[in-house]
């Protein structure tokens, strides 16, 4: 149930960031277990953009929806 809620929120935020009629990509981005994924709206072509390494804690599309920026968790920052 919690995973579905997180997926829904990630999808909602992603769709809210895209303006109607934008000319950029139609890919949807989402986080799953600290990994950043993209997928087509029809559910095809799922791709782990950041499959390993530090967990991804946030992401955002550029205004044109052409670039995807993300933040990772730095485990060594507080030590």
Residue 4: the pLDDT is: 63
Q: How many CB atoms lie within 10 A of CB 47?
A: 11
Exposed/middle/buried for residue 68 (C-beta within 10 Å: 0-12, 13-18, 19+): middle
Mean pLDDT in order along the chain per 10 residues (79 residues): 58 50 68 88 87 86 86 77
What is the predicted pLDDT for the residue at 62? 87
pLDDT value of position 65:
80
**CA of 11: how far to CAs of 6, 18, 57, 78, in Å?**
8, 11, 15, 31
Q: Judge contact between 31 and 37, C-beta under 8 A.
A: yes
């Amino acid at each position: 149930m919690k995973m579905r809620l997180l997926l829904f929120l990630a999808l909602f935020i992603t769709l809210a960031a895209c303006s109607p009629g934008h000319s950029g990509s139609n890919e949807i981005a989402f986080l799953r277990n600290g990994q950043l994924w993209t997928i087509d709206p029809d559910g095809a072509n799922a791709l782990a953009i950041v499959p390993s390494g530090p967990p991804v804690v946030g992401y955002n599309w550029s205004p044109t929806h052409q670039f995807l920026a993300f933040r990772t968790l730095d485990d060594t920052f507080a030590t």
